A and B are shown apart, each in its own frame.
Chain A
Amino acid sequence: MSRMDSISAAAGPQTVECAAVRAALRAHVERARSAEDPTAVHGLRVTCARLEVFLRLARWSVLRGDLRWLRRAASSVRDLDVLLEGESAAPARTEFVDTLQRARESARAEFRSTLEHERCQALLEALENTPQVSVRAARPPFERLVERVRERGEQLTHAPQEFERFHALRRALRRLRYAREWLELDCAAIRALQDELGALNDALVLEAWVERARGAPPDASHAAASPPSDRVQSLSAAALRAWRHARREILEIPA
Chain B
Amino acid sequence: MKLLIVRHAIAADPVEGQRDSARPLTSAGKRKFEGVVRGLKRLDVKLDLLLHSPLLRAVETADLMNALVEGEARVTSLLARAPTKALIEALDEPRVALVGHEPYVSELVAWLVTGERQLARAFPFRKGGVAFLEGEPVPGQMFLASMLTPAQLRAIGKKK
Contacts and interface: CB of A to CB of B under 8 A. Distances in A.
Interface of A: 60-63, 65-66, 69, 118-119, 121-123, 125-126, 128-129
- The binding surface of chain B is classed by DSSP as mixed
Contact of A66 (B19, B53, B75): B75
Given A122-B76, A126-B55, 4 more contacts: A62-B59, A63-B75, A121-B77, A128-B22
A128 B21 contact: yes
A65 B73 contact: yes
Nearest to B67: A61
A60 B75 CA distance: 13
A125 B54 contact: yes
Interface in B62-85: 62-63, 66, 69, 72-78, 80
A99 to B, nearest CB: 32
A121 B80 CA distance: 12
B74 A125 contact: no
A129 B22 contact: yes
A129 B75 contact: no
A126 B24 CA distance: 12
B63 A129 contact: no
Q: How large is the interface on B (under 10, 10 to 19, 20 to 34, 35 or more residues)?
A: 20 to 34
Contacts of A118: 76-78, 86
Given A60-B63, A129-B59, A65 B74 contact: yes
B21 A62 contact: no
Best-buried of A60, A123, A126 by chain B (most CB within 10 Å): A126
Interface string B16-42: 000101101000000000000000000
A63 B19 CA distance: 20
Contacts of A119: 74-77
A246 B41 CA distance: 44
Contact of B21 (A66, A121, A129): A129
Contacts of B75: 62-63, 66, 119, 122-123, 126
Contacts of A123: 54, 75
B145 to A, nearest CB: 26
Contact of A122 (B19, B24, B56, B77): B77
Best-buried of B21, B63, B80, B86 by chain A (most CB within 10 Å): B63
Best-buried of B19, B24, B73, B78 by chain A (most CB within 10 Å): B73
Nearest to B78: A118
23 contacts: A61-B63, A61-B66, A62-B52, A62-B59, A62-B63, A62-B66, A62-B75, A63-B59, A63-B75, A118-B76, A119-B76, A119-B77, A122-B53, A123-B54, A125-B21, A125-B54, A125-B77, A126-B55, A126-B59, A128-B21, A128-B22, A129-B24, A129-B56
B19 to A, nearest CB: 8
A135 B76 CA distance: 30
Nearest to A66: B75
A87 to B, nearest CB: 35
A66 B86 CA distance: 18
Best-buried of A61, A62, A69, A128 by chain B (most CB within 10 Å): A62
Nearest to B69: A61
Contacts of A69: 74
Contacts of B52: 62
Interface string B94-135: 000000000000000000000000000000000000000000
Contacts of B78: 118
Nearest to B61: A62
